[in-house]
A and B are shown apart, each in its own frame.
Chain A
Amino acid sequence: MYRVEGKIISEIASYFAPPIKQLLLGLDEHYFNRLEEIRLRCQQPLLLKSGDRDITITSSGRPAEDLNSGYVVTREDIQRSLASISDNSLYAFEEEIKRGFITIPGGHRVGLAGQAVINGGQIKTIKNFSSLCFRIARQVPDCALPLIPYIAPRGVPVSSLLISPPRCGKTTLLRDLARILSTGRPNLPARNVAVIDERSELAGCYLGIPQLDVGTRTDVLDACPKAEGMMMAIRSLSPQVVITDEIGRAEDVTAIRECLNAGVAVIASVHARNVKELENRPLMQDLMKLKAFQSGITLSRRIHPGNIEEIVRWQA
């Protein structure tokens, strides 16, 4: 399912501390083909997550499955990497640090962990950083094509839910859906799409500009809370489709209702193992009462990420 994207490593390598950068650049390109995460944890081996496989790199630059033989990440490596990611300007990333991640050019996200500083019950910042998680943003063009007959039957998008546990490819599919729906295809007229990207994952915006292809008629509300973003979009961007990731709060239900009343199709993802588990949730029961979604697509990574397990049609 994944394409070979050798340039990804050259894109992100400069954000690592020099010793780790050297190790990564010395690794054969095929190790990066399915790379999902690179994890730096203080006093722990460097870890590369590729599919369901974890590998490390030894100090001499050899890839190894025995994590104990791997290069041990130091606090200095974390500090140097953080300095590169933030351009030595943590003050310019206060909001991002509060949210726990920084997006770098290319749309890749760096998750942060360390000691939280609390002020008035709210996270003010994070200090004494102890681990960094580089999550590789990938585009898989046309990966959402198999979903189009269910999401846009007869060429008209209907409100749909992508249901799956984490790491099953929901975000990649949503991104490609945005691209396909806003660009159009034969028998699928192009639509105005609004992407509400609360966690900067769908479009991978860097300084507000999408780094990943989300289509020609797509507006992105980056780092915007979902409910507010949906309301803002229908007020000012006249979308025909709203796409958002991981709905789950009560205010999301209200915003989805507003979208439906405005005649806008909502395509969203939600965490659950299957439809049955989802239907037992109070939030989903509210959405069912509203008849908000017409199709539900359950995904897994049984064969590959984004594997379609089940398609449910709810009555409109």
Chain B
Amino acid sequence: MTTTRKPVSERSAAFEYLTTKKDELVGWARKFSLFPYPFVTACCGMEFMSVSSTPYDTDRFGAALPRFTPRQSDLLMVVGTISHKQAPVLKRVYEQMCEPKWVMAFGVCATSGGFYQNYAALPGIDKIIPVDIYIPGCPPRPEMVIDGIMRLQERIAGQRHPIINQDF
């Protein structure tokens, strides 16, 4: 979310104050209403099931309800190895999501390809789409995923959230 803003000299202090307060409010609202799209391809899916169901329960973070269409979701969770053959599908899914959107690379395979360095595996999804949060581990513990979600929430809370135009 890199939008260019007017130089500070052209903006009034009241406008600046209002914008900041608006960003805080919208960020607070958005960070607790993540709608994940689980792009689950491999064994990390087991940890995804664990972290999203009762014992760990991502519902506590407002990220419980998976939407199985990218058009209704704002958090793309890429869970597992992405092969070169699958890369066009992932790219299409990412492009179908509406702004604002965030991407989580869940596990080492999505982060960097992990131990796959061969003809088949994509060496990290950041080669084709931008990634906001990386969670290492093979597979990551549910605690690590929760930590990742909380860090992503911090980032969302601290971001600018233009909702009317790029200045407000």
Partners in one complex: no
Q: Which residues of B pack against A, CB within 8 Å?
A: none
Q: Which residues of A pack against B, CB within 8 Å?
A: none
